[in-house]
Amino acid sequence: MEANIAVPNEKKPTWGGGGVKPFGASYGKMMMWFFIVSDALTFSAFLAAYGLTRFKFIDSWPIADEVFTHVPFVHGEFPMIYVAFMTFVLIASSVTMVLAVDAGHQMNKKKVTIYMLLTIIGGIIFVGSQAWEWNTFINGTYGAVKTTDGKILQFVDSNGKQIALADFVVGDRGNARVQHTKGNGLWFEDEGTISQYSIAQIISSYEANPDVQIRTELIDLDKKQKTILSREKGAEELAKTRLIVEGANLEVNEYGNTIFADFFFFITGFHGFHVFSGIIFNIIVFFNVILGTYEKRGHYEMVEKVGLYWHFVDLVWVFVFTFFYLV
Amino acid sequence: MAHAQSHTKRIWNVFWILSAITIVEVVLGIYKPDVLHLTSFLGTSPLNWLFIILTLAKAYGITWAFMHMEGEKTWFRRAVVWTAVFLIIYLVTLLLIEGDYLYSTLAPLVRW
């Protein structure tokens, strides 16, 4: 029993359990593990809430392959490729981290330095990729319209492939509407960015082009694809247009359910914030390694503790990857 | 702990296994074979089950090898893993049942 209790003692400092090691784990390492348990529960709560919402809208949830299709510097559609690259980068940086821990056990300062540096670089590449992913998501690709009953209508060509508004909308917007700015407005008011098209213009372009069809959010559960409406039914739905949607924000997005984008921003954002703080911790430890702090201390346990955090971030990404992009 | 033996080889092995699993997931995610994707097994498609199982395999690899859970004392490992796994299964089960209920209640009210 005594072995499991931290006994205050005149000679030993009590912070850190007074040198007593329950379960043979040091104070810092154990607390890092317990923090990870609580953080894991936070992330699972987010993902479980995502699951609940997805089940709630199971017949209209956006299909990931149609949302995340882009790769930097390359035109065309390559679903999954870029996010697979991001996953790979994070796993690779986990490996360099664990190699740094391993080198730390051997008190090999030079190797620890190199591996810590590689880990930091991996983390920066990941966060950069996530920023790019957000940017693509926010700017959108195709554009869609939202109807008075809150549904998103997307446009497809005769092959069922999604097309952008710019691909079929022709003519003039017809109402001479211009962006209202602070400079020319009353009371210094301005407005959000308005679309370069007008609703009437989209409707008349749709009617003029028989190749364009409308895709609704409803999923055909036998084929697991979104339903494409007939020309007549499409015109009927399009007549209810209330808003032109290009890209995504917290209120509306061109991919489908508003809450889909909300969860995307919230969960990947929270994970990205973890990666960002992980990079900061790694940088601090990296400089401590260079300065020889751990050499003087006689062990590299700090590298191990920050390593646990870093692997946890990788662990969370594995689940985010599965539930946002695969399932 | 100083000058402990190096585990470099094992670390790289785990890395290759994790990468291979990711590649399998991505290939399945891109091609989505109809046999796996359009059929149903225990409430969702076999493809989804495959993704979930592969994900858990990856999580096991990361926790046991990279986070070195395998080297911790048995009951410390259990204090961390059992607690988290139990609470997560509990929460996920309840919320997914609730989500399914919401769908069955609300979906008939939506006109497409």
ipTM of the complex model: 0.93
Residues of B in contact with A52 (CB under 8 A): 95-96, 98-99, 102
Determine the Cα–Cα distance for residues A79 and A67; give it in Å rounded to an integer: 8
Determine the Cα–Cα distance for residues B43 and B34; give it in Å rounded to an integer: 17
Residues of A in contact with B112 (CB under 8 A): 151, 216, 218, 227
Nearest CA in chain A to B39: A222
* Tens-digit pLDDT profile for residues A186-237: 666 777 778 889 999 999 999 999 999 999 999 988 888 999 999 999 999 9
pLDDT above 70 (res A149)? yes
Count interface pairs A-B at CB distance under 8 A: 157
Structure tokens at A314: 């990788």
HEC states along chain B?
A: CCCCCCCHHHHHHHHHHHHHHHHHHHHHHHHCCHHHHCCCECCECHHHHHHHHHHHHHHHHHHHHHCCHHHCCHHHHHHHHHHHHHHHHHHHHHHHHHHHHHHHHHHHHCCC
Which of B3, B63, B99 is closest, CB to CB, to A53?
A: B99
Average pLDDT of chain A is: 90
- What are the Cα distances from residue A187, in Å, to A178, A179, A193, A194, B39? 18, 16, 18, 19, 60
Return the SS3 of A1.
coil
- Listed range (A17-26, A209-218, B23-32) with the worst mean pLDDT: A17-26
pLDDT above 70 (res A288)? yes
pLDDT above 70 (res B29)? yes
Average pLDDT of chain B is: 91
Domains, in order of start, for chain A: 26-140+260-326 (1.20.120.80), 144-246 (no CATH)
pLDDT confidence of A238, banded at 50, 70, 90? very high
**Average pLDDT of the residues in B92-106:** 96
Structure tokens at A281: 């911790």
* Tens-digit pLDDT profile for residues A45-86: 999 999 999 999 999 999 998 898 888 888 878 888 999 999
Amino acid at A160: G
Residues of B in contact with A88 (CB under 8 A): 19, 22
Cβ under 8 Å to A: B residues 10-49: 11-12, 14-15, 18-19, 22-23, 25-26, 28-30, 37-38, 44, 48
Whether residues B67 and A311 touch (CB distance < 8 A) is answered with yes
DSSP A138-203: HH-SS-EEEETTS-EEEEE-TTS-B--HHHH--S--SS------GGGSGGG---PPPPSS-HHHHH
Cβ under 8 Å to A: B residues 85-104: 87-88, 91-92, 95-96, 98-100, 102-103
* Tens-digit pLDDT profile for residues A295-304: 999 999 999 9
pLDDT score, position A263: 96
Residues of B in contact with A79 (CB under 8 A): 29-30
pLDDT score, position A15: 61
**Average pLDDT of the residues in A91-119:** 95
Nearest CA in chain B to A44: B88
Whether residues B62 and A79 touch (CB distance < 8 A) is answered with no
Structure tokens at A29: 């390492």
Q: Which residues of A201-227 are buried (b: 16+ CB within 10 A; e: fewer)?
A: bbbebbeeeeebbbbbbebeeeeeebb
Q: Which residues of A158-172 are buried (b: 16+ CB within 10 A; e: fewer)?
A: eeeebbbbeebbeee
Q: Could you give phi then psi for residue B7, rounded to 5 degrees?
A: -110, 25
Determine the Cα–Cα distance for residues A272 and A278; give it in Å rounded to an integer: 10
pLDDT score, position A309: 97
Amino acid at B94: L
- Determine the distance in angstroms separating the CA of A48 from the nearest CA of chain B, rounded to an integer: 5
Whether residues A95 and B7 touch (CB distance < 8 A) is answered with no
Residues of B in contact with A313 (CB under 8 A): none
pLDDT score, position B51: 95
- Determine the distance in angstroms separating the CA of A150 from the nearest CA of chain B, rounded to an integer: 11
Extents of the domains making up chain B: 1-71, 72-112
- Listed range (A271-280, A305-314, B23-32) with the worst mean pLDDT: B23-32
**Closest by CA position to B81, among listed B58, B64, B57:** B64
pLDDT above 80 (res A10)? no
DSSP A74-137: B-S--TTHHHHHHHHHHHHHHHHHHHHHHHHHTT-HHHHHHHHHHHHHHHHHHHHHHHHHHHHH
Tokens 């994900």 — which residue?
B55
pLDDT above 70 (res A94)? yes
**Average pLDDT of the residues in A131-158:** 94
Determine the Cα–Cα distance for residues A68 and A62; give it in Å rounded to an integer: 10
Which of B58, B80, B92 is closest, CB to CB, to A33?
A: B80
Q: Which residue has the higher pLDDT, A193 or B61?
A: B61
For chain A, the 3-state helix, strand and coil shares in percent, each to the nearest 5, are 60, 10, 30
Cβ neighbours for B58, distance < 8 A, ≥ 6 positions apart: A318, B18, B21, B22
- Determine the distance in angstroms separating the CA of B85 from the nearest CA of chain A, rounded to an integer: 9
pLDDT score, position B2: 44
Pair A297, A120: CB distance under 8 Å:
no
pLDDT above 50 (res B1)? no
pLDDT confidence of A9, banded at 50, 70, 90? low
DSSP state, A327?
-
Structure tokens at B35: 């046999």
pLDDT above 60 (res A13)? no
pLDDT score, position A95: 96
Which of A4, A21, A23 is best to mutate for the B interface (most B CBs within 10 A)?
A23
Tally the C-alpha atoms within 13 A of residue A187's C-alpha that lie toward its C-beta. Answer: 2
